[in-house]
Amino acid sequence: MERSPIAALQAEDGRPVDFEEFAAQRLPSLIRYATMLAGSRELAEDVVQDALVKAHAKWARIAAMDRPDLYVKQIVTNEFLSWRRRRRISTVALQPDIEPRGGDRPPSHDQTSADRAALWAELARLPRQQRAVLVLRFYEGLTDKEIAIVLDCSPGTVRGYGSRALAALRIELADWRDGGEEDR
Amino acid sequence: MTRSRGPRDPAELRGVFADHEVRDVDVTGLLAGVRDRIQRRRARRRTAGILAAGVATALVAAVPIVVSSIPDDDHSTTADSGTSTGSTEPTVLSLPTDGTADFDPTSTFSVGELPSDYVVEYSRNEPGVQTRIYLAPDDEQKQVVITYFDPELSGLPAPLTAPDPQTVGELEVFPMTLDTAGSEQYGLAWQPEPDRWVTVTSTGSDEPARQELLDLIPSIDVGAQELLSFPIQAGYIPEGFGLLAAYRDVQADPDEGQLRTNLVLVDQLAGQPPGGTLSIFVENDPQEPTTGARAPTTTVSGNPARYGVDPDGNQCFTVYQVEGMSYLVCASSELVGRFAEDDLRRIAAGIVVIPGAATDPSVWTDQPLP
């Protein structure tokens, strides 16, 4: 089988990673990521657990990769993208079920809160690939190249998804690259 | 949504993500869940069972499967015997002849030679809907999904289609409007008859996927139903129970297990809706059931087994490590009081896995019920 393009990226430390160790370390970030994708914590937990089961089955191969973290993120993303397709053909939009956290953030003005709630709802209505690009860029801080690896498409396609998503949300960004780090 | 304010700043997007960030992740609990799924591979069984229970409708009474008795001299492995004997000629399955035969859980639409080298990953029949998923070799992310369904019987929404159909043979085929529009997924839909739909979807960019699906359409014949085969037979089913839904899965990756099948039965004498399902699930399971929720509580012919009632009230009897398989029999909570442990034990002990079925689907049987 052809080697994953992820293997072309630089290794962080190069040592083999134990699955349990990896899962314990990465679970919080994977759950946070999947929750942003799915708009639902319950679904996110299910998606991540299913993804880790798949990762476990192939762990010998994944651990040998330079960036197992990105590959597992790719599995999580694919689980999310294929979630309903595997269960039934559906055109129902995502229904976000998590409330804004507030928490340690300073109180917002009512209008700002309403705007953010509207933006969250609009995010939920985006096509899943587009939403994934926004989450990977603006939440995860990945570069176009890294996003392309996670979504298994070209950086140009990433920019296409991203620009369409930003247009749908009426977010002004002169240069898509301004939204994250420069490509490495 | 119409908004009165002007363009947004990217910082607002980051702010929204920060607003909804999850902080309290239960790593221990989630890891336990992952371990449990790895060991038991029960996620698909749950999905199948829940889906089947959720769509149990009046259709059930119209699915009068009549199957003659299971061969009693069969060359198979059972939890009861754990040994092999000789086999007999399969008996004839009587199918209903009215319109509901289209959705009989033991038959499915015909698909001829596929234009590319796809293999069937799984077939699933539920009331009013038949689904097959084909997997592209060497590309585990690429699938072709074919679904034949009646929206009213299945509860599935009719597909959203774009205008400008294309003619394929005598069919008028419409591009589907998927909720993943703009992503690399493509779908086509047509109506073989009023109130019935066939959809085919594929991952991949639009034009190759469109052409691939157009090439595939002539090989799909929903009018030609063929018997679905299964890797197992049930030796004992409680009186009155018949098949509502069926699911079987072949995984090319040996790490994932090579077969997985689920028969969902309902009491056909119980009226409408029948309420409650009896589920028989078999899968490859190399794991030893030593601890936690898998810990054996009894044995069946020397094989470790477990009976329990889960927090939702479902009664389950599991037999582990029968020639590398796990057998699971579950009565859903709606059937409380109908079955005792010994009843489920008897069903589990009668399950038969066709010899060689884990590696060779050609030996599967179209006679899954006694």
pLDDT of residue B310: 81
Q: Looking at A111-120, A123-132, B19-28, which range is the least confident one?
A: A111-120
pLDDT of residue A21: 87
CA distance B46 to B330: 10
Contact state of A101 with B21 under an 8 Å Cβ cutoff: yes
Is residue A132 pLDDT above 50, yes or no?
Answer: yes
pLDDT band at A184 (very low <50, low <70, confident <90, very high): very low
Residues 53-112 of A with CB under 8 A from B: 53-54, 56-58, 78, 81-82, 85-93, 96, 98, 100-103, 105
Comparing CB atoms, the residue among A48, A78, A128 nearest residue B141 is A78
Is residue A173 pLDDT above 60, yes or no?
Answer: yes
pLDDT of residue B258: 63
Min CA distance, B203 vs chain A (Å)? 10
Are residues B227 and B245 in contact, defined by beta-carbon separation less than 8 angstroms?
Answer: no
CA distance B369 to B204: 39
Query: Helix, strand or coil for residue B81?
Result: coil
pLDDT band at A5 (very low <50, low <70, confident <90, very high): very low
H-type helices in B183-253, by residue range? 206-216
CA distance A139 to B14: 6
pLDDT of residue B43: 35
Please tell me whether the overall predicted TM-score, pTM, comes out greater than 0.90 for this model: no
pLDDT of residue A11: 36
Bridge pairing between strands B139-149 and B196-203: antiparallel
Contacts of B180 in chain A (CB under 8 A): 81, 127-129
ipTM over 0.90: no
Comparing CB atoms, the residue among B22, B34, B184 nearest residue A35 is B22
CA distance A148 to A155: 5
Min CA distance, A96 vs chain B (Å)? 10
| Interface test with chain B among A2, A84, A89, by most B beta carbons within 10 Å | A89
Min CA distance, A100 vs chain B (Å)? 5
DSSP letter for B365, please. Answer: B
Q: Which residues of B17-35 are buried (b: 16+ CB within 10 A; e: fewer)?
A: bebbbbeebeeeebbebbb
pLDDT along chain B (370 residues), means of 10: 62 87 86 78 35 27 22 39 32 34 79 73 83 70 82 84 87 79 71 91 75 88 87 92 83 55 85 77 75 82 90 87 87 90 96 82 86
pLDDT of residue B271: 64
CA dihedral B247, A82, B130, B324 (to 10 degrees): -10
CA distance B119 to A92: 29
Residues 19-58 of A with CB under 8 A from B: 20, 23-24, 27-28, 31-32, 35-36, 41, 44-45, 48-50, 52-54, 56-58
